[in-house]
Amino acid sequence: MFTSSLLSTLLLVGRAWALPIGGAVDSSYDAWATALSDVGPLILLIGERSTKQLLRDVRSVAGAFSLAGAFSLAAAPLGPVSIVTSLLRMSGSDRIRSFLGYEQESRSVAALEMSRVNCNAVHPELIEGYLVRTTAATSALHAGAVGVSALQSTLTAASIGDVVTQLLACHSYEAAKIRLRVPKTDAKLRWCSQILIADTRRDGLKDQLFEILAAALQVNPAGEKTEDIRVSELGEDTLCFVLTFDAISEYCTAYVTSRKISLLIGLGSALLIVGLYVVELRYSRNWQISTGWLLTILGYLGIVTFVTLAARHIQRASHSIPLRSKNTRLSQPWQDGLAIAAQSDSKAGAEFLIAANGGAQAFEAIWLKPLTPAACIKADAIGIFLTLSFLCHYLGLRSSSWWLGVCELAICISAAFARSLTKSRPTRLHLPSDHKSHPNVDWRCCTTGLINIPHSSEAEEATRPDPHRLDLRIYSSDDGVMLPAPAESIAWHSAALCVKDQSLLSWVLETTGMRLSICKGHNGADRRAIVVSFSAGVLCQEGLALTDVNTCVAFSCQLKSLSTPTPWLARAIMRQPSWKADRDMFAGVTDTIGKVHVPSLSSLMTWWTMSELRNAPRDNQENLQWAFLLLNTSFFALLQSASASDPAILQNLAGIHGATGPKSESAAYIFVERIKDERLKSLSRSSRNQPGTLGP
Residue 51 phi, psi dihedral angles, 5° rounding: -65, -45
Which of 100-104, 234-238, 256-260, 610-614 holds the top average pLDDT?
Answer: 100-104
Instruction: Give per-residue pLDDT as tens, 506-534.
Output: 999 999 999 998 888 766 668 888 999 99
Split into its structural domains, the chain has a count of 2
Check whether residue 374 and residue 468 sit in a common domain.
no
Instruction: Give per-residue pLDDT as tens, 530-574.
Output: 999 998 889 988 889 888 888 999 998 888 888 899 999 999 998
Q: Does the residue 10 lie in any domain? A: no
Using DSSP's 3-state secondary structure scheme, residue 664 falls into helix
Question: What sign for the dihedral angle of Cα 38, 44, 45, 49?
Answer: positive
Q: Are 398 and 37 in contact (CB under 8 A)?
A: yes
Top-confidence residue, 135 or 163: 163
Instruction: Give per-residue pLDDT as tens, 365-424.
Output: 888 888 889 999 999 999 999 999 988 988 888 888 878 888 888 888 888 888 888 777
Share of the chain above pLDDT 70, in %: 79
Instruction: Give per-residue pLDDT as tens, 245-288.
Output: 988 888 887 777 777 888 888 899 899 989 988 998 888 888 88
Check whether residue 564 and residue 627 sit in a common domain.
yes
Check whether residue 318 and residue 408 sit in a common domain.
yes
Which structural domain, as residue segments, surrounds residue 524? Answer: 200-226+455-671
Check whether residue 484 and residue 631 sit in a common domain.
yes
The DSSP symbol for 517 reads: E
Q: What is the pLDDT of residue 24?
A: 41
Q: Does the residue 556 lie in any domain? A: yes
Residue 582 phi, psi dihedral angles, 5° rounding: -90, 100
What average pLDDT does the segment 310-325 reach?
85
What average pLDDT does the segment 681-689 reach?
75
Q: Which of 399, 421, 443 is the last residue of a domain?
A: 421
Query: By mean pLDDT, which of 2-6, 127-131, 209-213, 299-303 is the weakest?
Result: 2-6
Q: Are 68 and 262 in contact (CB under 8 A)?
A: yes
Q: Does the residue 639 lie in any domain? A: yes
Instruction: Give per-residue pLDDT as tens, 392-403.
Output: 988 888 888 878
What average pLDDT does the segment 138-143 reach?
51
Check whether residue 256 and residue 295 sit in a common domain.
yes
Check whether residue 415 and residue 477 sit in a common domain.
no
Report the alpha-carbon distance of residue 143 to residue 124 in Å, rounded: 7
Check whether residue 415 and residue 461 sit in a common domain.
no
List, in sequence order, the alpha helices (H) in 180-223.
Answer: 206-217
Report the alpha-carbon distance of residue 399 to residue 411 in Å, rounded: 20
Check whether residue 404 and residue 296 sit in a common domain.
yes
List, in sequence order, the alpha helices (H) in 502-582.
Answer: 502-512, 566-573
Check whether residue 514 and residue 588 sit in a common domain.
yes
Model confidence band, residue 232 (pLDDT cutoffs 50, 70, 90): very low
Check whether residue 212 and residue 73 sit in a common domain.
no
- List residues bridging with 364 in a β-sheet: 322
Check whether residue 213 and residue 304 sit in a common domain.
no
Check whether residue 375 and residue 523 sit in a common domain.
no
Instruction: Give per-residue pLDDT as tens, 23-52.
Output: 443 444 455 555 555 665 666 666 667 777
Closest C-alpha to 338, from 447, 435, 428, 433? 428
Q: Which of 378, 400, 421 is the last residue of a domain?
A: 421
Q: Does the residue 681 lie in any domain? A: no
Q: Does the residue 577 lie in any domain? A: yes
Chain CA centroid to CA 140, Å: 21
Q: Does the residue 5 lie in any domain? A: no
The DSSP symbol for 202 reads: S
Q: Does the residue 140 lie in any domain? A: no
